[in-house]
Chain A
Amino acid sequence: MNADSELFQRISQGSEESFTEAFDQHYAPLCFYADKFIHDMDESRSLVQEVFVDLWTKRSKIHIKQSLKSYLFKSVRNISLDYIKHKNVESKYLKHSQHESESDDRDLIEEAELNACINRAVEELPEKCREIFLLCRFEDLTYKEIADRLNLSIKTIEMQMSIALKKLRLKLTDRQHIQLLVFLISKK
Chain B
Amino acid sequence: MDHLLPDIDLQIAAFLSGNCSTEEAEALMLWQNQSDENKKTFDLASKAWKNCLYQLSKAEIRNDKELVLRSILSQTTLELNRSKALSKLLRIAAFLAGPVLLAIGLYVGYTTKSNKVVAWNSVSAPRKHIAIFNMADGTEIWLNAGSTLSYPTEIQNNKREVKLVGEGYFKVTKDASKPFIVSTPNTTVRVLGTTFNMKAYPDEEKVTTTLEEGSIELTTTKSGNLPCKLRPGEQAICVVKENKITVNQVDASRFSAWRSEKFLFRDADLKTIITELERLYDIKIHINNPKLATLRFRGMFSYDQDLLDAFETLKRSVTMNYTIKGREVWLE
Contacts and interface: CB of A to CB of B under 8 A. Distances in A.
A169 B48 contact: yes
Nearest to B60: A45
B8 to A, nearest CB: 8
B61 A27 contact: yes
A116 B48 CA distance: 11
Give the top 6 A-B pairs by smallest Cβ distance, nearest first: A162-B10, A168-B48, A162-B9, A161-B13, A166-B9, A169-B44
B52 interface: yes
Contact of A53 (B10, B60, B71, B98): B71
B21 interface: no
B83 to A, nearest CB: 19
Contacts of B48: 118, 121, 165, 168-169, 171-172
B310 interface: no
A172 B47 contact: yes
B14 interface: yes
A53 B52 contact: no
Given A56-B72, A161-B10, A165-B45, A143 B19 contact: yes
B64 interface: yes
Contacts, number: 111
Interface of A: 14, 16, 20, 23-24, 27-28, 31-32, 35, 41, 45, 49, 52-53, 56-57, 60, 111, 114-116, 118-119, 121-123, 134, 136-138, 142-143, 158-159, 161-166, 168-169, 171-173
B230 to A, nearest CB: 35
A27 B65 contact: yes
B169 to A, nearest CB: 21
B9 A165 contact: yes
Contacts of A28: 56, 61
Between A32, A115, A119, A138, the greatest number of chain B beta carbons within 10 A of the residue's beta carbon is seen for A119
A35 B51 CA distance: 13
18 contacts: A14-B98, A31-B56, A45-B64, A49-B68, A56-B72, A57-B72, A114-B51, A118-B48, A119-B56, A137-B49, A138-B54, A142-B19, A143-B17, A161-B13, A168-B48, A169-B48, A172-B44, A172-B47
B122 to A, nearest CB: 24
A169 B45 contact: yes
B58 interface: yes
Given A35-B54, A169-B48, 11 more contacts: A20-B69, A49-B64, A49-B68, A119-B56, A122-B55, A123-B57, A137-B49, A165-B16, A165-B48, A168-B48, A172-B48
A108 B18 CA distance: 28
B64 A115 contact: no
Contacts of B75: 53, 57
Contacts of A60: 99
B221 interface: no
Contacts of A163: 9
Nearest to B48: A168
Contact of A20 (B55, B56, B65, B98): B65
A137 B57 contact: no
A41 B10 CA distance: 30
A149 to B, nearest CB: 15
Given A56-B72, A172-B44, A165 B52 contact: no
A164 B13 contact: yes
A25 B142 CA distance: 31
B92 to A, nearest CB: 15
Given A27-B65, A138-B55, A49 B10 contact: no
B79 interface: no
Nearest to A45: B64
B77 A57 contact: yes
A169 B65 contact: no
A163 B13 CA distance: 9
A53 B72 contact: yes
Contacts of B187: none
A60 B99 CA distance: 9
B97 interface: yes
B43 to A, nearest CB: 9
A83 to B, nearest CB: 17
Nearest to B77: A57
Interface in B51-91: 51-58, 60-61, 64-65, 67-69, 71-72, 75, 77
